[in-house]
Structure 1
Amino acid sequence: MAEHKIGDYVQGTKFGSFVHDFEGEIEKVYENSVLIHILSFDDEDRILVGELNNRAIVRKEDAKPVKAKAE
Structure 2
Amino acid sequence: METKLKVGDKVTCDKFASLTHNFVGSIEKIYENSAVVEILEHHKDDTVVVSDFHNRAVVALNHMKKISA
3-state SS of 1:6 partner: coil
Q: Displaced runs of 4+ in structure 1, greater than 2 A?
A: none
Query: Would you say how many aligned residue pairs link Structure 1 and Structure 2?
Result: 68
The percentage of counterpart residues that share the same residue type is: 40
3-state SS of 1:47 partner: helix
CA distance in 2, matches of 1:36, 1:63: 10
Cross-structure match for 1:30: 31
What CA deviation, in whole Å up to 9, does each residue of 1:14-66 have, x standing for no partner? 00111000001000000000110000000000000000000000100001111
Is residue 56 from structure 1 mapped to residue 57 from structure 2 by the alignment? yes
Cross-structure match for 1:13: 14
3-state SS of 2:24 partner: strand
> Normalised by the size of structure 1, how large is the TM-score?
0.93
> Normalised by the size of structure 2, how large is the TM-score?
0.95
Q: Specify every segment of 5 or more residues in structure 2 that has no aligned partner in the other structure, as ranges.
A: none
Q: Specify every segment of 5 or more residues in structure 1 that has no aligned partner in the other structure, as ranges.
A: none
